[in-house]
Amino acid sequence: MKNNYEELLPVDPIGAINKMKENYWRYFNTMYRFNSYEPGLDDKRRKALEDPNGKVACRDPYVEMLPEYQSMGKKLPECIASDPELKAVFEAFP
């Protein structure tokens, strides 16, 4: 059974990650309430965890755009055989 994240991730990766964060915060805030111990403690905890400079709970996603490389039309063994330095490196491994 697929969850919403699996369907959303290929289409909108940033949106999927934001949705995961939102659901995590909702769970966390429901499970861990501290106002009964000290008024205002929940607000202090939330501010500390959500501080964009602190990055305590989670970081923003790292997205790297990779260029599409042109194929040489050779398989790895052909590339190794055509380059003496590369061949020496691969021959050093059993």
- Residue 94's SS3 state is coil
81 in any annotated domain: no
- What is the percent of the chain with per-residue pLDDT over 90, rounded to a whole number? 6
4 in any annotated domain: yes
Name 48's Cβ contacts closer than 8 Å, sequence gap at least 6.
54, 56
H-type alpha helices, 1-94: 4-8, 13-31, 41-50, 76-82, 84-91
38 in any annotated domain: yes
Domain of residue 40 covers: 1-64
Q: How distant, in Å, are the alpha carbons of 10, 12, 44 from that of 2?
A: 13, 16, 36
- Model confidence over 28-48: pLDDT tens digits? 778 777 767 778 888 887 777
How far the first Cα of the chain sits from its last, in Å, is 43
43 in any annotated domain: yes
pTM: 0.46
pLDDT at residue 56, rounded to an integer? 64
- Model confidence over 39-74: pLDDT tens digits? 888 888 777 777 666 566 666 777 777 788 888 888
